């Protein structure tokens, strides 16, 4: 095994040991919504993110929420028009989730690529002017071109972010 492969293997082991863990900040006013509550989901804001990640994250996030809402614990409805076209008074009276995917960076060399991005969810609840729950999830992946492609790793990254955010959100909404 050459020095290049040994260095790559060591870097992969380092990344695996430092796996990203979502950070969750609950404000004093956060209360899990009652069962059967409708939670509105605003399409994610994305800033300079490849289309494969932009579309993959949001679609899979919503699918995972719906599938994970055991027995219809919550109803999830997409606010397709976003918050700008919704009456602010109505919005202030409902539970809704906003999300962002940003800080996307791809660094490629001759033989490997590292991809980084950040994602954030915020839960807004009636009676609070600020988000009552914030979930941050920075994520990074590294791969050698002999073993994967940028397209494959973008897809894997989008799936990981979507599933992790959805799972953590469901846990918080369910009071777990």
Task: Write down the domain spans for the chain.
Answer: 23-174
- Host H or E run for residue 155: helix 150-173
Instruction: Per-residue pLDDT tens, the chain, 176 aa: give them.
Output: 544 544 444 444 444 434 566 788 888 789 999 988 999 999 999 999 999 898 889 999 999 999 988 777 899 999 998 888 899 999 999 999 999 999 999 999 999 999 999 999 999 999 898 999 999 999 999 999 999 999 999 999 999 999 999 999 999 998 87
Q: What pTM was estimated for this model as a whole?
A: 0.84
What is the topology classification, in CATH, of domain 23-174? Double Stranded RNA Binding Domain (3.30.160)
Q: Is 157 left (phi over 0), alpha (psi -120 to 50) or beta?
A: alpha
Beta-strand ranges (E) seen in 79-148 are 95-108, 112-124, 133-144
Measured distance CA(123)–CA(30) in Å, rounded = 9
């Amino acid at each position: 095994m050459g020095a290049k492969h040994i260095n790559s293997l060591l870097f992969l082991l380092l990344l695996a040991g430092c796996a990203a863990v979502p950070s969750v900040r609950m404000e004093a006013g956060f209360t899990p919504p009652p069962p059967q509550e409708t939670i509105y989901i605003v399409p994610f804001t994305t800033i300079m993110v490849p289309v494969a990640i932009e579309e993959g994250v949001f679609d899979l996030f919503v699918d995972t929420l719906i599938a994970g809402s055991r027995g219809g614990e919550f109803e999830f409805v997409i606010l397709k028009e976003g918050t700008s076209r919704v009456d602010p008074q109505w919005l202030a009276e409902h539970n809704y989730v906003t999300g962002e995917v940003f800080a996307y960076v791809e660094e490629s060399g001759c033989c490997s690529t590292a991809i980084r991005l950040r994602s954030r969810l915020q839960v807004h609840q009636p009676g609070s002017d600020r988000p009552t729950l914030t979930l941050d999830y920075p994520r990074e992946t590294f791969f050698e071109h002999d073993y994967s492609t940028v397209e494959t790793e973008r897809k894997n990254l989008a799936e990981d972010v979507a599933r992790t955010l959805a799972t953590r959100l469901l846990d918080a909404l369910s009071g777990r």
